[in-house]
Amino acid sequence: MDSLKKKSLAEFETLSRHYDSCAVSWFFRPFYKRIAKEVHSIPHRRILSVGCGTATLEVLLAKAHPASSVVGLDFSRGMLEKARTKAIDVKNIAFIEGDAEHLPLEAQSFDIVICSHSFHHYPNQMQALTEMNRVLTDDGVLILVDGLKASFLAKVWLFFVEHVLEPGVRHFSASALSAMFLKAGFSSRFEIEKMMIAYAIIKARR
């Protein structure tokens, strides 16, 4: 296993114990609301969330869309244990332990793939994007939320993240991300919308 992957796994196993703290919930809440709005606007039956963590967003989506199926995938067993407990009474949600770079899922099996605040942790981000493209249906949409090196303040904050808070993670500029999406097989029909100072929500289609 890649050294960065091992490090991230150990980090998230530890984080799983207090990931749903008030501080974490406060930070992620506006992003979850924005993702939920996007999901509501896209026709769908099957949703995959890559790097689902403790599944706050995924449970929200499953309850809001009872006719759809939601699958949460994460590399951390600790996170998935919390997720399963949180979703115990939700019938249209399931969880899989798996690697974003090697999704254990059939091709063209999801209408929407979500990746929220985990992309920067993946050692091989191109491979992860290629896998997300593979499991999307022909009209499928990827909704990715992560840091974006756009403004000066965003670059300063993400430098701090990459070198102090989470050494080894990687964020990109809009042009670099656009090139990666195209190389991974997505069409040129993608949208990048900035959120807060250093983050963005990106919608990409096959």
What are the phi and psi torsion angles at 151 (to 5°)? Answer: -75, 170
Which residue shows structure tokens 């605040």? 117
Q: Report the relative pairing of strands 136-147 and 199-205 from DSSP bridges.
A: antiparallel
Confidence at residue 190, expressed as pLDDT on a 0 to 100 scale: 86
Q: Mean pLDDT across the stretch 124-129?
A: 97
pLDDT tens readout for residues 102-124 = 999 999 999 999 999 999 999 99
Confidence at residue 189, expressed as pLDDT on a 0 to 100 scale: 82
Residue 71, Cβ density class (10 Å: 0-12 exposed, 13-18 middle, ≥19 buried): buried
Number of folded domains that form the chain: 1
Which residue shows structure tokens 């499953």? 62
Q: How far is CA 3 from CA 99, 169, 178, in A?
A: 14, 12, 27
Cβ neighbours, 10 Å, residue 51? 22
- Full domain range(s) for residue 60: 3-205
Report helix, strand or coil for 200. strand
Q: Mean pLDDT across the stretch 190-204?
A: 94
Q: Mean pLDDT across the stretch 180-193?
A: 93
Confidence at residue 26, expressed as pLDDT on a 0 to 100 scale: 81
Looking up residue 32, the CATH number of its domain turns out to be 3.40.50.150
pLDDT tens readout for residues 152-168 = 999 999 999 999 988 99
Confidence at residue 102, expressed as pLDDT on a 0 to 100 scale: 96
pLDDT tens readout for residues 29-44 = 999 999 999 999 998 9
Residue 151 has pLDDT above 70, yes or no: yes
